[in-house]
Amino acid sequence: MSRNSRRPAQRRGALVALAVAALFAVSACGGSDKSSDNNAGGAVQEGGTLKLAFNQDLFGNLDPNQNFWIESRSIDRNLADSLTDQDPKTGEIVPWIATSWTVSPDAKTYTFTLRDDATFSDGTKLDATAVKTAYDGIIKLGPLAALGATYLSGYDSTEVLAPNKVQVNFKTANAAFLQATATTTLAILSPKSYDLDPKERALGKFVGSGPFTLDSYTPAQSAKLTKRKDYAWGSGINTNKGAAHIDHLDVTFAPEESVLVGSLTSGQIDVAWPRNPLSEQAQETIKASGGKVDSTVLPGLTYNLIPNVNGVLGDDKVREALQKSIDRAEWAHTVFGDSYPVTKSVVDSTTPGWSDQSALLGYDAEGAGKLLDEAGWTKGSDGYRAKDGKPLEISFLTNAPWPGWDLLQDQLKKVGFKFVQKIVTPAEITANANTGKFDLTASYFTRGDSDVLRTFYDTSVVKPGAGPGAYSQKPETAKELSALFAAEISEVDTAKRNAIFEQIQKLAITSGTLFPLQDRAQIVAKSDKVHDLNYTAETFLRLNDVWLSK
Q: How confident is the model at residue 17 (pLDDT cuts 50, 70, 90)?
A: very low
pLDDT at 14: 29
Q: How confident is the model at residue 217 (pLDDT cuts 50, 70, 90)?
A: very high
Count of helices and strands (H, E) across the chain: 16, 26
Q: What is the pLDDT of residue 37?
A: 53
Residue type present at position 324:
K
pLDDT at residue 19 is higher than 60: no
Which pairs from 155-159 meet CB under 8 Å and 24+ separation? 158/131, 158/132, 159/132
**pLDDT tens-digit profile of 245-303?**
999 999 999 988 899 999 999 999 999 999 878 888 899 999 999 999 988 889 999 99
Please check the confidence at residue 512 and state whether its pLDDT lies above 70.
yes
The predicted model gives 335-361 an average pLDDT of 94
Q: Give the model's pLDDT for residue 420.
A: 96
Helix, strand or coil, per DSSP, at residue 82:
coil
**pTM metric for this prediction:** 0.86
Let me know: does 164 contact 126? Beta carbons within 8 Å. no
CA distance 213 to 233: 15
Q: Which of 519, 465, 471 is nearest to 319 (CA)?
A: 471
**pLDDT given at position 207:** 98
Q: What are phi and psi of 440, to 5 degrees?
A: -150, 140
Q: What is the mean pLDDT of residues 436-464?
A: 91
Q: What is the DSSP string of 369-408?
A: HHHHHHTT-EE-TTS-EEETTEE-EEEEEESS--HHHHHH
What is the C-alpha to C-alpha distance for residues 44 and 548, in angstroms, rounded to an integer?
8
Cβ atoms 275, 15 nearer than 8 A: yes
Contact predicate 206/190, CB 8 Å: yes
The residue-averaged pLDDT of 331-357 equals 93
**Phi (first) and psi of residue 267, to 5 degrees:** 85, 5
pLDDT at 137 over 50: yes
* Res. 369 pLDDT band, cuts 50 70 90: very high
Task: Report the pLDDT averaged over residues 305-326.
Answer: 97
In this model, does residue 495 exceed pLDDT 70? yes
- Of 393, 398, 397, 366, give the one whose Cα is nearest residue 377: 393
pLDDT digits (tens, 9 = 90+) for 386-429: 999 999 999 999 988 889 999 999 999 999 999 999 998 878 88
Predicted local distance difference test score (pLDDT) of residue 279: 82
pLDDT per residue as tens digits for the range 23-72: 233 333 334 444 445 444 579 999 999 999 998 887 899 999 998 888 99
Span 503-507, mean pLDDT?
Answer: 98
Query: How would residue 306 be classed by pLDDT, with cut points 50, 70 and 90?
Result: very high
- Burial environment of residue 189 by CB neighbours within 10 A (0 to 12, 13 to 18, 19 or more): buried
Which residues 6+ apart lie within 8 Å of 96 measured at CB? 81, 82, 83, 84, 85, 182, 233, 234, 235, 236
Contact 394, 419 (CB under 8 A): yes
Between 445 and 231, the higher pLDDT residue: 231
Cα atoms found within 13 Å of the Cα of residue 429, Cβ hemisphere only: 25
Q: CA 312, CA 385: separation in Å to the nearest integer?
A: 12
How high does pLDDT run on average in the chain?
90
The per-residue pLDDT for 28 is 32
Q: What is the pLDDT of residue 132?
A: 98
Domains and CATH numbers, the chain: 3-17+299-519 (3.10.105.10), 47-296+522-548 (3.40.190.10)
Q: Are 216 and 223 in contact (CB under 8 A)?
A: yes
Sequence-ordered alpha helix ranges (H) in 511-541: none
Q: What percent of the chain has pLDDT over 70?
A: 93
For residue range 186-213, list pLDDT tens digits in order: 999 999 999 999 999 999 999 999 999 9
